[in-house]
C-alpha cells in the first residue's frame, strides 16, 4: 500500500539521519529523484516504488527491509557485540540507525545464511520455535562421519540441560568429515552439542538453508548481503 511522506521523513525512515539533518542535506541539493534535484524537504512524495539518489548513490525506499547475509566467522549476531565485531558492521550504516537486527543467532565462529530485518512480526515468526521452520547446517567434524553417528543423531541424543533427547529432522553424510543436519528448533549451540553427545566434535559449521531458501541459490559471497524479495521470503516457511 503506497503512501505519501515528506522527503525529509522519507530519508529519516531509511536511516540516513535525524529529520533536521536530512532537511539540511536536501536543502544543499544532495538529493535527486528521477534525475532532478529536489531541494524542498517538505515536498510530499509517493513512496510506492520510489528510488532516490543521495550523495550520488541510488537507493530504493523500503518500508521494512528483509536481508540475507552470508555471515563470515568471527562476527557476533548482536547489536551490542562484546568480543568480536557485530554483523551490522557488514551492512551500510543506515541499517543500524533504522534498528535492523539479526533474526536469531549464529555463533561467532559459525558461517552461513543469516536473516536480518527491522520488521518485528517477521522476526518473531522466523525466531519462534512454534513455527518449526527447518534449518540446514553442514558441519565439519573432527573424526570421520560414521553410520553410527548419523543413526544416533536421527534417533536422538541427550543433552545435559534438556528434559528429553533431541533428534535431527534428517541427517546425512556429505563427505568423509562432513555431515548435513536438519533441525526444526534452535537450541543453544545445538549442532555442536549434539555432535559432542554423539561422540564426535564439530570443528566448523555453516548454515546453508532456512526453510526452502538456500545460500547457494542466493549466490552470496562470504560477507555479502542482499534484499529478499517477497517470493524469496515466501520460501522461509516449514514444509
In angstroms, rounded to a whole number, what is the distance separating the alpha carbons of residues 97 and 65? 12
In angstroms, rounded to a whole number, what is the distance separating the alpha carbons of residues 202 and 182? 15
Kindly state the cell numbers that stand for 179. 555431515
Phi and psi of 82, rounded to 5°? -120, -45
In angstroms, rounded to a whole number, what is the distance separating the alpha carbons of residues 87 and 89? 5
Marked catalytic residue, from 8, 28, 48, 107: 107
Let me know: does 26 contact 40? Beta carbons within 8 Å. Answer: yes
Residue 28 designated active-site:
no
Phi and psi of 95, rounded to 5°? -70, -30
Q: Which residues pair with 138 in a beta bridge?
A: 180, 206
Positions annotated as catalytic residues are: 107
Amino acid at each position: 500500500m503506497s503512501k505519501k511522506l515528506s522527503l525529509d521523513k522519507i530519508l529519516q525512515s531509511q536511516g540516513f539521519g535525524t529529520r533536521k539533518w536530512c532537511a539540511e542535506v536536501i536543502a544543499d541539493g544532495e538529493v535527486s529523484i528521477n534525475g532532478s534535484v529536489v531541494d524542498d524537504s517538505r515536498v510530499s512524495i509517493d513512496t510506492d516504488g520510489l528510488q532516490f539518489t543521495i550523495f550520488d548513490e541510488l537507493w530504493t525506499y523500503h518500508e521494512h527491509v528483509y536481508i540475507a547475509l552470508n555471515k563470515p566467522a568471527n562476527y557476533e549476531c548482536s547489536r551490542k557485540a562484546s568480543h568480536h565485531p557485530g554483523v551490522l558492521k557488514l551492512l551500510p550504516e543506515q541499517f543500524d540507525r533504522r534498528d535492523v537486527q539479526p533474526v536469531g543467532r549464529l555463533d561467532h565462529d559459525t558461517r552461513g545464511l543469516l536473516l536480518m530485518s527491522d520488521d518485528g512480526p517477521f522476526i518473531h515468526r522466523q525466531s519462534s520455535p512454534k513455527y518449526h521452520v527447518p534449518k540446514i547446517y553442514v558441519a565439519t567434524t573432527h573424526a570421520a562421519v560414521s553410520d553410527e553417528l548419523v543413526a544416533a543423531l536421527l534417533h536422538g541424543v541427550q543433552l545435559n540441560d534438556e528434559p528429553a533427547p533431541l533428534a535431527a529432522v534428517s541427517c546425512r553424510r556429505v563427505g568423509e568429515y562432513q555431515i548435513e543436519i536438519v533441525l526444526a528448533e534452535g537450541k543453544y549451540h545445538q549442532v555442536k552439542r549434539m555432535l559432542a553427545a554423539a561422540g564426535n566434535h564439530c570443528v566448523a559449521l555453516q548454515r546453508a538453508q532456512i526453510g526452502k531458501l538456500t545460500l547457494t541459490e542466493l549466490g552470496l559471497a562470504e560477507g555479502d548481503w542482499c534484499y529478499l524479495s517477497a517470493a524469496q521470503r515466501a520460501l522461509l516457511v516449514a514444509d
